[in-house]
C-alpha cells in the first residue's frame, strides 16, 4: 500500500467541515449561554465583565464561522483549512476557560471535544496535533494563573497560590495525559475506517478492472459466445456472435435462443426438440449449416457447456460457436486436389501403358515397310505413321517426366563443369544450331549440393528452347553467380544462381503470362511440357525459376538453387 492511499480524502472534507462548523456554533452558544445564565443569577458583582467577554466570544465565533464558510467555497486545499479551524478552536477554548475562572473553570473538557473532532476529520495525525496544541495552551494558562501573571474573569481566588503546587502540576499532567489518550483512542477507529476504506477502494478498483478485462476479453474473442439462463433466455451475446449471425445484442437479450436461432432448438435444454436428458450425452463439437446472405451457406461449429455456480447447481448454458466456413471450403478444395491427384496418377498410368502398344505398332510398321514392295505412296504413309508414333512417344515421355519426377539424389558437384558437359552433349545431339555461339561467365568454382542428373535435364530443355528461338543465328549467354536469397531458412547464407539468356525475339505477352503452364506452347508440334518440367524439377530441388524479357532483347531464364534442407535424401 502506498502512502498516497492514506492521504485525507479531499472529497470528504467539505461535509466534515460543515458539520464541525455547525456543532461549534451550537455547543458554544449553548454552553456559553448557560454559563451567562448561571453567572447572572449568582455573581451579580462581576456581571458586566462576564457578560461582555462572553458575548464578544460568541460574536467572534459567529464571525469566524462566516469567514470559514467563505473559505470553504474558495480554498482548494481543505486539509490546511481543517487544521487552521481546529487549532483556532483550541485558542477559543483557552479563551473560554480564561473567561470562566482559569484554574477553577469546568470547561477544560471542551479540549477533548476538539481533539475528537481532529481525530475524526484529520485522523491520528490531526488528533495528536490538536492534543499537543491543547496541552500547551492549557498548561500555559494554568501556570500563568497560578503565578498570578494573568487574572482570568470569574475567578473567585484572590491569591491563586493558595492551591498547592503539586495540585496544579497534577491537573496539568492528568489533563495532558487525557488529551493524548483521547487523541489515540478516538483516532483508532478513524484509522481503521480509513484503512478499510482504502482497502475497499483498492478491491473495488480491482473488481472494476477485472470486470473490464472480462468484458474486453469477451468482446475481443473471434468466436461467438452466447450465455443462457435456466429458462433458455439470452443473457450474453458477444460481438463475434453479432457479426456471425447479423443480429444485434439489443435484439437478443432476454429472448429465448430458440426464437432467435431456431437451428439450435435440438441442442439446448429448453428447446422444443430437446429430450430433457441434459447435454452430457452430446458430442463435444457439432457442425451445422446456417443460411447466410443470399445463397451463401455458413457452417457453424459449436459446443454446449453447463453454466454452474459454486454450489454446483446448473443455472443455464454456455454456447461457444465458431465460423468454420473457410475451413469447410479448404476441405472441399483438398478433396478436389485429392481427386485431381488420383486422376493424375491414373493419367500417368495410362500414359505408361500406352508406350508399350506404341512400341509394338512402331516395330510392326517398320517391318512391314522393309518387307513390302517399293511403293512411294505406302512408304510415305508409313513414314507419317512412324513420325507421329515417335511424336506420341516423346509426348508420353514428357508427360511421365512431369507427372512422376524421379526422386532427387543429392550430392556435391561442380556446377560449372556440369554446364560445360551439358553443352557438349547438346552440341552432339543433332538439336544444335551450328550458327549459334555460346558465351559463359562463371563465378569461380561453384560447388553445389543437388542432383546433377536432374540439373542436366533442366539445362537440356532450356538449351533446346533457346536453339528453337534462334533458328538462323544467335548468341547464348550462360552465367553462374552467388546471390543472397530472401527466402533462405538460415539468414546469412547464399544461393547459387544460374542465368541463361538468348538474343532471339523474346517471349510474347501471352507466353510470358503462361510461361510454365503445362501444355501451353507457341512452337508447332511442341508438347508444352518443356518449361513445366523444368519448373517442377527446380522446385523439387528446393529452388525457384523465373523468366523475363531482357532489357537488351531476348529471353532470359534465371534459376536460383538453395542448399537442400536437412532431411533430404543424399547419396552415401
Return the minimum-mean-pLDDT range out of 78-87, 123-132, 306-315, 539-548: 306-315
Identify the DSSP state of 491. T
Would the pLDDT of 171 be above 70?
yes
Long-range contacts of 302-305 (CB under 8 A, 24+ apart): 302/224, 302/264, 302/267, 304/267, 304/268, 304/279, 305/279
Predicted confidence band of residue 572 (pLDDT cuts 50, 70, 90) = very low
Which of the residue ranges 146-160, 172-186, 366-380 would you say has the lowest mean pLDDT?
A: 366-380
- Strands, DSSP E only, in 259-414? 286-291, 297-308, 314-323, 411-414
Question: What was the pLDDT predicted at 277?
Answer: 46
Looking at per-residue confidence, does 266 or 162 come out higher?
266
Q: Percent of the chain at pLDDT above 90?
A: 0
What is the reported pLDDT for 567? 47
Q: What is the DSSP letter of 253?
A: T
How far apart are alpha carbons 491 and 236 in whole angstroms? 49
pTM to 2 decimals? 0.42
Tell me the pLDDT band of 399, cut-offs 50, 70 and 90: low
Instruction: Say what the pLDDT of residue 54 is.
Output: 65
**Which of the 8 DSSP states describes residue 256?**
B
Beta strand 474-484 pairing with 436-441: parallel
The strand pairing partners of 439, in sequence order, are 477
Predicted confidence (pLDDT) at residue 159 exceeds the cutoff of 60: no
Listed residue (247, 242, 203) closest to 223, CA to CA? 242
Q: Which residue has the cell 436428458?
A: 277
Residue 114 has pLDDT above 70, yes or no: yes
The model's pLDDT over 426-455, given as tens digits with 9 standing for 90+, comes to 888 777 777 788 888 887 778 888 888 888
pLDDT of residue 371: 60
Mean of all residue pLDDT scores within the chain: 75
User: Do the beta carbons of residue 543 and residue 478 sit within 8 Å?
Assistant: no
Cβ of 223: how many Cβ atoms within 10 Å? 14
β-bridge partners, 314: 308
pLDDT tens per residue, range 207-251 = 888 888 888 888 888 888 888 888 888 888 888 888 888 888 888
**Cell, residue 22:** 455547525
Q: Which residue has the cell 506420341?
A: 392
pLDDT of residue 555: 87
Give the percent of the chain with pLDDT over 70.
69
Rounded Cα gap, residues 563 and 447, in angstroms: 11
> Mean pLDDT across the stretch 108-124?
83
Q: Which residue has the higher pLDDT, 385 or 550?
A: 550
Per-residue pLDDT at 5: 42
Amino acid at each position: 500500500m502506498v502512502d498516497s492511499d492514506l492521504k485525507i480524502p479531499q472529497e470528504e472534507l467539505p461535509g466534515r467541515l460543515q458539520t464541525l462548523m455547525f456543532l461549534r456554533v451550537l455547543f458554544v452558544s449553548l454552553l456559553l449561554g448557560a454559563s451567562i445564565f448561571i453567572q447572572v443569577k449568582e455573581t451579580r458583582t462581576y456581571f458586566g465583565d462576564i457578560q461582555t467577554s462572553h458575548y464578544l466570544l460568541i460574536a467572534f465565533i459567529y464571525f469566524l464561522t462566516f469567514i470559514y464558510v467563505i473559505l470553504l467555497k474558495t480554498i482548494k486545499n481543505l486539509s490546511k483549512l481543517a487544521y487552521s479551524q481546529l487549532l483556532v478552536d483550541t485558542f477559543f477554548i483557552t479563551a473560554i476557560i480564561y473567561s470562566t475562572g482559569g484554574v477553577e473553570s469546568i470547561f477544560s473538557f471542551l479540549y477533548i471535544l476538539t481533539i475528537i473532532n481532529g481525530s475524526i476529520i484529520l485522523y491520528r495525525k490531526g488528533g495528536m496535533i490538536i492534543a499537543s496544541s491543547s496541552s500547551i495552551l492549557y498548561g500555559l494558562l494554568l501556570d500563568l494563573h497560578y503565578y498570578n501573571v494573568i487574572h482570568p474573569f470569574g475567578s473567585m481566588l484572590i491569591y491563586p497560590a493558595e492551591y498547592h503546587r503539586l495540585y496544579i502540576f497534577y491537573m496539568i499532567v492528568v489533563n495532558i495525559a487525557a488529551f493524548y489518550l483521547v487523541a489515540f483512542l478516538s483516532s483508532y477507529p478513524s484509522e481503521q475506517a480509513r484503512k478499510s476504506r482504502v482497502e475497499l477502494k483498492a478491491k473495488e478498483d480491482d473488481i472494476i478492472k477485472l470486470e473490464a478485462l472480462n468484458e474486453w476479453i469477451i468482446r475481443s474473442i473471434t468466436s461467438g459466445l452466447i450465455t443462457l439462463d435456466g429458462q433458455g433466455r439470452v443473457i450474453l451475446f458477444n460481438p463475434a456472435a453479432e457479426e456471425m449471425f447479423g443480429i444485434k445484442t439489443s435484439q437478443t437479450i432476454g429472448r429465448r435462443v430458440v426464437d432467435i436461432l431456431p437451428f439450435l432448438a435440438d441442442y439446448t435444454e429448453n428447446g422444443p426438440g430437446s429430450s430433457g436428458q441434459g447435454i452430457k450425452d452430446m458430442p463435444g463439437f457439432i457442425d451445422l449449416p446456417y443460411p447466410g446472405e443470399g445463397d451463401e451457406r455458413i457452417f457453424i461449429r459449436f459446443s454446449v457447456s453447463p453454466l454452474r455456480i459454486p454450489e454446483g447447481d446448473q443455472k443455464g448454458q454456455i454456447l461457444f460457436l465458431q465460423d468454420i466456413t473457410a475451413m469447410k471450403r479448404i476441405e472441399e478444395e483438398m478433396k478436389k486436389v485429392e481427386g485431381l491427384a488420383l486422376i493424375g496418377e491414373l493419367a500417368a498410368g495410362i500414359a505408361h501403358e500406352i508406350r508399350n502398344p506404341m512400341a509394338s505398332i512402331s516395330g510392326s510398321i517398320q517391318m512391314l515397310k522393309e518387307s513390302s514392295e517399293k511403293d512411294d505412296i505406302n512408304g510415305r504413309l508409313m513414314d507419317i505413321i512412324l513420325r507421329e508414333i515417335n511424336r506420341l512417344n516423346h509426348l508420353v515421355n514428357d508427360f511421365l517426366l512431369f507427372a512422376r519426377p524421379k526422386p532427387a539424389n543429392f550430392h556435391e558437384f561442380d556446377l560449372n563443369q556440369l554446364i560445360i558437359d551439358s553443352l557438349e552433349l547438346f552440341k552432339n545431339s543433332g538439336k544444335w544450331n551450328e550458327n549459334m555461339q555460346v558465351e559463359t561467365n562463371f563465378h569461380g568454382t561453384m560447388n553445389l549440393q543437388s542432383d546433377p542428373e536432374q540439373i542436366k535435364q533442366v539445362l537440356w530443355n532450356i538449351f533446346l528452347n533457346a536453339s528453337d528461338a534462334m533458328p538462323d543465328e544467335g548468341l547464348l549467354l550462360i552465367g553462374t553467380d552467388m546471390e543472397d536469397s530472401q527466402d533462405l531458412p538460415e539468414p546469412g547464407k547464399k544461393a547459387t544462381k544460374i542465368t541463361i539468356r538468348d538474343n532471339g525475339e523474346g517471349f510474347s505477352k501471352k507466353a510470358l503470362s503462361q510461361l510454365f503452364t503445362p501444355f501451353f506452347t507457341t512452337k508447332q508440334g511442341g508438347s508444352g511440357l518443356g518449361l513445366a518440367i523444368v519448373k517442377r524439377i527446380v522446385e523439387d530441388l528446393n529452388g525457384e525459376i523465373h523468366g523475363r524479357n531482357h532489357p537488351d532483347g531476348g529471353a532470359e531464364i534465371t534459376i536460383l538453387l538453395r542448399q537442400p534442407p536437412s532431411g533430404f535424401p543424399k547419396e552415401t
